[in-house]
A = this chain, B = another copy of it.
Amino acid sequence: MTEEELMLQQLFDEDKLTDKQKKIIVAAIETFSEKGYAASSTSEIAKKAGVAEGTIFRHYKTKKDLLVSIVAPLMTKFIAPLVVKDFNKVLNREFETVEEFLRATIENRRDLLIRMLPVVKIMFQEIPFQPELREQFLELVVKNIFNSVEKVIIGYQEKGLLIEMPPESIARLTITNILGFLFSRYLLFPQLDWDDELEIERTIQFIMHGIGKKD
């Protein structure tokens, strides 16, 4: 089983996908991610997947349908659990400090995040142009997850570990920084030299303490 298929299993294990369907999805993710949705052609995807072009349209009514079929489950099945799962651990007092929690979460899932990056890239690239995706994202990710996050943040706030800023803002800022790092690192400038461990540590440090010196 290739890496891609592993990722697919994470994304699509509930659905019964035929062999060809898996190949189409793998090829589509690769192509969309490399060239962007609009610049990808179904014929190229078909060739890369080793199927006839018509086969794509047997499974996905339109090219956009293919896009949505890739990105939508990511939102429902991947991103939500990714965050929520360990938040429960946090709520169960497994982590004494937010710092530890952030470090554990990021480190813990870094490989998966890296493997998922193509799809994440597609997702953020297309959200500005596809109202359908934007609405799904708001409904499934923003609303759904931010609810869970709120509890955790409030928990830490009550423990006196977080400032009193409203939970949504804290969530937005934290997520911004994590995604900001990942996008800079893997999408915008992958060819630069990065010391990943160090940058993650700095990101966490920044999230926790900002850049102002305590005195």
Contacts and interface: CB of A to CB of B under 8 A. Distances in A.
A57 to B, nearest CB: 12
Contacts of A174: 211
Interface string A165-181: 10001101110110111
Interface stretch (A78-86, A87-95, A125-133): A125-133
Q: Is the interface of A mostly helix, strand, loop or mixed?
A: helix
A98 interface: yes
Contacts of A212: 98-99, 161-163, 208-209
Contact of A172 (B169, B176, B184): B184
B162 A211 contact: yes
A63 to B, nearest CB: 12
A179 B173 CA distance: 11
Contact of A35 (B129, B173, B203): B129
B211 A165 contact: yes
Given A169-B199, A177-B177, A161 B129 contact: no
Interface of A: 35-39, 98-99, 121, 124-125, 127-129, 134, 138, 142, 160-163, 165, 169-170, 172-174, 176-177, 179-181, 184, 187-189, 199, 202-203, 205-215
